[in-house]
Structure 1
Amino acid sequence: MSDRPTAGLPDQSGRTWVITGANSGLGAEIARAAAAAGADVTLACRNLDKAERVAGRIGASARVAHLDLADLGSVRDFAAGVEPFDVLVNNAGVMALPHRRTADGFEMQMGTNHLGHFALTGLLLPRVRERIVIMSSLAQNWGRIHADDLNWERRRYNRWAAYGDSKLANTVFGRELARRLTQSGSPVRAVLAHPGYTSTGLMGQSETPVDYLMKAGAMLRVGQPAAQGALPALFAATADVPNGSYWGPNRVLRGTPSRARYRAAADDQRVRDRLWSASEELTGVTFDV
């Protein structure tokens, strides 16, 4: 995928991937493509019935394991059963939900999209051999990091602002993880990606007027199918790209993988440090980097 990312992945024979949220949409396409290139894939999912159907279509190289990122107990149970592997793809997510709380009392979007993945990555890091891919979103462009109120306890809740905050947190976390990996001399790389405007099951479920815009976008084919939206993450997972780099569609909303722009906040060390400290405190997970 170095110069023609749509032509297929490099040979993944003998390598193992763990992909969160692989029961549908982008995660399912990432799992399918990795397995088609020869990898063994673990579909780490909350909905086991859907995950089993995806695994059945992939074949013997796919296995399913239960993971609910909105429950740190589930995250720890999953991590305890994982053997050393090559690629972790932090793909699972929720979008624009009504105000809800995780099993641990976190705001659901921050808890699932960022804090769950933060804890998972920290617990699995000693067993990752090569690459961590963190899926962000164009929504990071309207997010803010309120490190002293990640869980919307002092602010009036807004579902779209909460989603943007969680995706900016993904970007900030990925950039800081890459810095710490480099500083510690680790061979593991943390690389970020976003899928542009991709039609998945997340779209049109917010119960707000934005749903109509998303449906219109899908009808007018402004976006792209999930198989195309998965390409930046697949590129980030397999190409020889810099640690901490960010990849998305070359035409922003759709297209083939190219370097993408992210918010300046993701390179503000004060923002990074405050988010990292708050995430450690909330999850109880620290990183060995």
Structure 2
Amino acid sequence: MTKWTTEDIVDQRGRTFVVTGANSGLGEVTARALAASGAHVVLACRDVAKGQRVAAEIGDNAEVRRLDLADLASVRDFASGIEKVDVLVNNAGVMAVPRRSTADGFEMQIGTNHLGHFALTGLLLDRVTDRVVTMSSLAHKLGTVDLADLNWERRRYRRWSAYGQSKLANLLFTYELQRRLTAAGSKVKSVAAHPGYASTNLQSHTESVWDRLMGIGDLFAQSAEMGALPELYAATAPDVSGGTFIGPDGPFEQRGYPKVVVSNRKSRDESIARGLWAQSERLTGVHYSFGS
């Protein structure tokens, strides 16, 4: 793969993208790049005011709709208002936050990063024409999906382990979704991406000493513009295959240009993936249909 940049995005005129968390960070960069390529971009944001400021700068190719992934009622309301989407970009997330719960009682990180996006994808899937892109992280290597205690009700809560579990869940979901799409004969693709180590505001919301430590680490991080390239490639490159994982091409996948990368063995465990899928349907009440 050559050093792919936003200059290589093919013309996206006539296509609609939904980007979650598009009011800041990687999501904002992604939304701006997609709109610049001609796409109509729906900025799906919890903070509508911030989203509107971004949309105003983008111009006519952008619109803002409220979406709180930590509230399934909000997810359902958002999905009911979307008529068509070519590409869904599951970008939003929270990282290493203190123990707290979503509106539906889920642990915040698994609830927002995985269950919220699982529900959103299931509710929109019959309107997706091209692909679903789900953002994971190198932190998936820190995680273990505990199907007996997905919401950290029995275990002692560890914020980074919980984050790792949610990012591992993103990959298990991506690969299982692709298997089910393939089995159904669907042409829709499910693709995952990760940004490497990119400087965004995600690192400043852990509400702990990590905010300061990661602020120092940002001196060595790549820009949000570089960090967004893998998800932009995953969302727009015509030759991306379903079930692939896109990340930076530099040392240890910390920085660089997009390439196909390999996730860990846990992310490829089909038994865990099926169990997570069944539990996600039960918890969210969203049951996927793979009709033609």
The answer to whether the Cα contact below 8 Å between 1:195 and 1:232 also exists between their aligned partners in 2 is yes
Q: Structure 1, residues 44-89: CA drift from partner, whole Å, max 9, x if none?
A: 0100010001101100110000000000000000000101120000
Q: How far off its partner does 1:148 sit?
A: 1.8
1:108-257 correspondence to structure 2 within 5 Å = 108-219=108-219, 222-239=220-237, 240-251=239-250, 252-257=253-258
The size of the alignment, in residue pairs, is 286
The answer to whether the Cα contact below 8 Å between 1:76 and 1:123 also exists between their aligned partners in 2 is yes
**In the alignment, residue 173 of structure 1 is paired with which amino acid?**
F
1:37 matched to 2:31? The reply is no
Question: TM-score under structure 2 normalisation?
Answer: 0.95
Identity of aligned residues (%): 58
The answer to whether the Cα contact below 8 Å between 2:3 and 2:258 also exists between their aligned partners in 1 is no
Q: How far off its partner does 1:212 sit?
A: 4.0
| Aligned-partner Cα distance in 1 for 2:162–2:203 | 16
Q: Counterpart of 1:284?
A: 285
Question: TM-score under structure 1 normalisation?
Answer: 0.96
**In the alignment, residue 130 of structure 1 is paired with which amino acid?**
D
The answer to whether the Cα contact below 8 Å between 1:148 and 1:278 also exists between their aligned partners in 2 is no
Q: Counterpart of 1:100?
A: 100
The answer to whether the Cα contact below 8 Å between 1:96 and 1:163 also exists between their aligned partners in 2 is yes
The answer to whether the Cα contact below 8 Å between 2:136 and 2:194 also exists between their aligned partners in 1 is yes
For structure 1, the residue ranges without an aligned partner over 5 or more in a row are: none
| Aligned-partner Cα distance in 2 for 1:250–1:214 | 22
- Structure 1 moving runs of 4+ over 3 Å: 207-213
| Aligned-partner Cα distance in 2 for 1:19–1:261 | 24
**How large is the Cα RMSD of the aligned pairs?**
1.1
The answer to whether the Cα contact below 8 Å between 2:141 and 2:168 also exists between their aligned partners in 1 is yes
1:22 matched to 2:18? The reply is no
| Aligned-partner Cα distance in 2 for 1:49–1:197 | 28
Q: How far off its partner does 1:17 sit?
A: 0.3
| Aligned-partner Cα distance in 2 for 1:55–1:26 | 15
| Aligned-partner Cα distance in 2 for 1:187–1:285 | 22
Question: SS state of the match for residue 96, structure 1?
Answer: coil
Question: SS state of the match for residue 154, structure 1?
Answer: coil
Q: Counterpart of 2:52?
A: 52
Q: How far off its partner does 1:211 sit?
A: 3.4
